[in-house]
């Protein structure tokens, strides 16, 4: 395998990671920021108030975009297996 091919594989791997985990992390960031602003405005310093809603919303987000995540990972692994097959 040449150097350029290895770089292409790494770029596709990082892109697949971003496409798979990015939406979940963005939702977790937005919910955390919203809850943090709400806690600062109301002076409520309860740890479970920030953890439980974020956990529930992240699980709901994962359930809603699971088919997209599965499709993205399937496409990437099909590319990887095709690349392995073409080496020989």
pLDDT, tens digit (0-9, with 9 covering 90-100), for 15-68: 999 999 999 999 999 999 999 898 889 888 887 778 888 999 999 999 999 999
Q: Quote the CA–CA distance of 11 and 17 in Å, as a whole number.
A: 10
Q: Quote the CA–CA distance of 81 and 88 in Å, as a whole number.
A: 12
Q: Where are the domains of the chain?
A: 3-87
Q: Quote the CA–CA distance of 23 and 21 in Å, as a whole number.
A: 6
Q: How many CB atoms lie within 10 A of CB 19?
A: 16
Q: Are 60 and 74 in contact (CB under 8 A)?
A: no
pLDDT number for residue 1:
67
The answer to whether residue 14 scores a pLDDT higher than 90 is yes
Q: Are 19 and 72 in contact (CB under 8 A)?
A: yes
Q: Quote the CA–CA distance of 88 and 71 in Å, as a whole number.
A: 27
């Amino acid at each position: 395998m040449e150097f350029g091919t290895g770089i292409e594989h790494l770029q596709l791997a990082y892109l697949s990671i971003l496409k798979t985990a990015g939406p979940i992390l963005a939702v977790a960031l937005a919910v955390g920021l919203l809850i943090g602003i709400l806690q600062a405005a109301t002076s409520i310093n309860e740890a479970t108030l920030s953890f439980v809603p974020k956990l529930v919303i992240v699980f709901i987000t994962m359930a809603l975009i699971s088919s997209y995540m599965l499709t993205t990972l399937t496409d990437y692994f099909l590319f990887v297996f095709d690349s392995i097959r073409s080496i020989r």
